[in-house]
C-alpha cells in the first residue's frame, strides 16, 4: 500500500531475542495485596496472559521483578484504546492513582523487608 519494502534477518549474531516476562511470585502477591488494600478488592484484577516483547524482561534476568498495569480505560472520556494505538488517549485522572499505588508498593515492601 505504501510501496515500502523491509528485510528482517533474525539469524544475525547480534540479534538477541527478548526473554519472557515472568513475574516473581512473591512480588506478584505483594502487589496484589497492596492493590487490594489501597484500591479495594473489587478493583484488582489479574490480566490475561499475553505473549509480547518487553524490555523489562532484561531487568528480570538480573533481579526479581513484577510488571503490572493500573488500568486506564474510561469510556466516558474516550480512553478506550491501547497505548500502542494511534487513537490512544490518556485519562490523566488515573495518574494520581498510579503514583499512589507504585509508592505504596515500594514503601510497604521496604518496611516489611528492612534489615
Tell me if 56 is assigned to some domain: yes
C-beta pairs of 99-107 under 8 Å, 24+ apart in sequence: 100/38, 101/34, 101/35, 101/38, 101/39, 101/70, 104/34, 104/37, 104/38, 105/30, 105/31, 105/34
- What pLDDT is recorded for position 14? 67
Tell me if 96 is assigned to some domain: yes
| Residue 100 confidence class, pLDDT cut points 50, 70, 90 | very high
Tell me if 103 is assigned to some domain: yes
- What pLDDT is recorded for position 108? 97
Tell me if 4 is assigned to some domain: no
Tell me if 97 is assigned to some domain: yes
Report pLDDT digits (tens) over 47-75: 888 877 788 999 999 999 999 988 889 99
Give pTM, 2 decimals. 0.79
Tell me if 42 is assigned to some domain: yes
Report pLDDT digits (tens) over 4-54: 998 877 666 666 678 889 999 999 999 999 999 999 999 999 988 887 778
- What pLDDT is recorded for position 12? 64
Give how many domains the chain has, as a whole number.
1
Give me the domain span that covers residue 58: 25-112
Single out the residue of 73, 70, 82, 74 nearest to residue 39, CA to CA.
70
Residue 115 scores a pLDDT above 70: no
Angle, helix 94-112 to helix 25-39, in steps of 10 degrees = 120
Amino acid at each position: 500500500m505504501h510501496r515500502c519494502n523491509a528485510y528482517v534477518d533474525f539469524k544475525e549474531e547480534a540479534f538477541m531475542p527478548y526473554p519472557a516476562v515472568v513475574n516473581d511470585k512473591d512480588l506478584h502477591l505483594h502487589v496484589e495485596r497492596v492493590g487490594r488494600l489501597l484500591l479495594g478488592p473489587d478493583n484488582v484484577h489479574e490480566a490475561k496472559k499475553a505473549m509480547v516483547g518487553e524490555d523489562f524482561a532484561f531487568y528480570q534476568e538480573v533481579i526479581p521483578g513484577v510488571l503490572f498495569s493500573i488500568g486506564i480505560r474510561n469510556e466516558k472520556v474516550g480512553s478506550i484504546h491501547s497505548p500502542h494505538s494511534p487513537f490512544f488517549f490518556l485519562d490523566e485522572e488515573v495518574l494520581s492513582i498510579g503514583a499512589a499505588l507504585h509508592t505504596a508498593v515500594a514503601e510497604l515492601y521496604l518496611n516489611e523487608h528492612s534489615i
